[in-house]
């Protein structure tokens, strides 16, 4: 695992671009955020693959400690950028975007996830793994799993649906819409704490934080551009708050959400000065969904054929290569089907 981490760090260092003395106005552009998402989806991959095989090398133990440190934080930015992106679209496209949200965002996301679930069902048939009908049906919502990652998709579906309902109901009252989404998100976190493990909702508010950031973005950018000293003070304050409160992340129900938001804000504020220009990282970020949702298929299959018993690094490398190829061609196939269906 250490080789993968070193390679990732090497790409990050080589592609790192600093913006001085001014602030980079493109810090939340799709181009910049795709690279950051690419970094974290690779970290997610490493976090998942270690649950299928033991890595006992000295360097591997160090990587595992890093992965344990991140925990659920590694997906926090996915939710933040999603909330930010949706509200940016609402700001510039208005009611038309909201009206098309069930079709273009919820419908297409569900279609992709359903396609992934079907692929997992095929794998389960190959390896002889059986699930009840209710488990299979609920797996299409993300409430249960048939080998796939589930909680994140369930969270995304609920957030998209709540976003649509709130903006559709309150129409042009955008501040009230985001406020209502925030309140309903808090209710979701409480309910899920009674029904599921904490990780099901421990980063849930990052989506709402992304929406709030988009809502105030123009004022934030203007404020920082006028006085960069304030930018440095605020950035240092947020980073230090994140470092300090990190140790208390498991103490209370809402603390992990609070720490996750501080983590996202730290990355966003640092993006004013630092960006990654790697086309490779951007490719991974652009294929985030398929890499995230399909990566367990080669992990399950290769474990079924006991590849990990030969060499853990062979298992890791094969999982990575197959995931990349699988994600690439599934993305093309899904795009083809969606063009036919949504035409």
DSSP string of 187-205? HHHHHHHHHS-GGGTTTTH
Is the pLDDT reported for residue 1 higher than 80? no
Q: For residue 315, name the pLDDT band (cuts at 50, 70, 90).
A: very high
Count the residues in the chain: 343
pLDDT 10s digits, 12-36: 999 999 988 889 999 999 999 999 9
Average pLDDT score over residue span 63-73 = 87
Higher pLDDT, 263 or 227: 263
Average pLDDT score over residue span 97-124 = 94
- For residue 21, is the peptide bond before it cis, meaning its omega torsion is within 30 degrees of 0? yes
- 128: phi > 0 → left, psi -120 to 50 → alpha, else beta; which? left
Is the pLDDT reported for residue 57 higher than 80? no
Is the pLDDT reported for residue 72 higher than 80? yes
Domain encompassing residue 105:
2-341
Q: For residue 162, name the pLDDT band (cuts at 50, 70, 90).
A: very high
CA dist list (Å): 52 to 55, 303, 307, 310? 10, 7, 11, 14
Higher pLDDT, 135 or 71: 135
Query: What domain count does the chain have?
Result: 1
């Amino acid at each position: 695992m250490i080789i993968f981490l070193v390679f990732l760090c090497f790409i990050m260092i080589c592609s790192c671009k600093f913006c001085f003395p001014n602030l980079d106005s493109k810090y939340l552009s799709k181009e910049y955020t795709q690279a950051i998402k690419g970094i974290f989806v690779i970290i997610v991959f490493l976090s998942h693959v270690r649950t299928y095989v033991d890595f006992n090398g000295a360097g591997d133990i160090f990587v595992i400690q890093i992965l344990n440190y991140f925990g659920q934080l590694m997906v926090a930015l996915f939710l933040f950028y999603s909330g930010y992106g949706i509200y940016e679209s609402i700001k510039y496209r208005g009611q038309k975007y909201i009206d098309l949200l069930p079709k273009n965002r919820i419908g297409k996301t569900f279609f992709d996830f359903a396609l992934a679930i079907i692929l997992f069902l095929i794998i389960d048939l190959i390896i002889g793994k059986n699930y009840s009908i209710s488990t299979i049906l609920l797996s299409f919502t993300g409430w249960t799993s048939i080998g796939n990652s589930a909680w994140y998709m369930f969270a995304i579906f609920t957030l998209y649906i709540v976003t649509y309902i709130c903006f559709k109901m309150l129409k042009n009252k955008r501040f009230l819409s985001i406020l209502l989404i925030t309140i309903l998100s808090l209710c979701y976190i409480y309910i899920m704490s009674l029904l599921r493990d904490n990780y099901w909702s421990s980063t849930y508010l990052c989506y709402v934080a992304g929406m709030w950031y988009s809502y105030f973005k123009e004022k934030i950018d203007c404020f920082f551009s006028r006085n960069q000293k304030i930018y440095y003070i605020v950035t240092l304050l947020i980073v230090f708050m994140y470092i300090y409160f990190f140790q208390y992340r498991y103490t209370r129900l809402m603390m992990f959400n609070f720490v996750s938001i501080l983590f996202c804000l730290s990355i966003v504020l640092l993006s004013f000065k630092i960006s990654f220009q790697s086309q490779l990282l951007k490719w991974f970020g652009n294929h985030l969904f398929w890499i995230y949702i399909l990566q367990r298929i080669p992990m399950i299959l290769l474990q079924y054929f006991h590849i990990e018993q030969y060499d853990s690094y062979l298992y890791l490398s094969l999982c990575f290569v197959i995931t990349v190829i699988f994600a690439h061609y599934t993305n093309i196939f899904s795009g083809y089907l969606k063009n036919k269906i949504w035409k």
